[in-house]
Amino acid sequence: GWAIAYYSLCSSCLLIVNKVALHLVPAPVFLLSLQLWFAVVFVYILQAYGALQIEPLRWETAAKFAPVVLSFLGTLFSNAKYLQYSNVETFITFRSTTPLVLCVCDYLFLGRHLPSARSVACLLGLLVSSAGYAMFDHAFDLRAYSWLGVWYVCFTVYEVVVKHMCNTVAVDNWTRVVYT
């Protein structure tokens, strides 16, 4: 439970921080580049102080990570572009519907089981609620919803590719961070 609460808190705070940052510095590529470089430098600093170990980078592993990197960058960029044109609430509303698409993708591409009928009913309820929200969204902007669509596709691809990568490429989590 604590892990879920912590993830939710970090995720929602990151959305708000990114929205404020984009308002102050309307340059999404620049801000995303800073965030990604900070993550890599932070991991290498932790390694330098012996707090963690990172496997040496290898070209053949990096090449396998290319789909992860491309879908991750697409997800981040479309998220930033969406936040430029709309509010955080709409993004959170639509983000809550991703499990519906991901459970179907997990079944089709990763051989996982479909959710129970009860779970599907809950997921469809989320979808209907999100559609209702969109119909009455006072801040509706076609550019924002277009970027939301791009984000949805990139995020779905990213999630499926990352799950596949975790099952097929044997590297530790910190090394995955650096590759990504």
Task: Give the pLDDT confidence of 29-70 residue by residue, as tens digits.
Answer: 999 999 999 999 999 999 999 999 999 989 999 999 999 999
Report the distance separating Cα 109 and Cα 67, nearest Å. 15
pTM, to two decimals: 0.82
Tokens of 3: 């892990």
Task: Give the pLDDT confidence of 114-161 residue by residue, as tens digits.
Answer: 999 999 898 889 889 888 887 787 777 889 889 999 999 999 999 999
By CB atoms closer than 10 A (0-12, 13-18, 19+), residue 177 is: middle
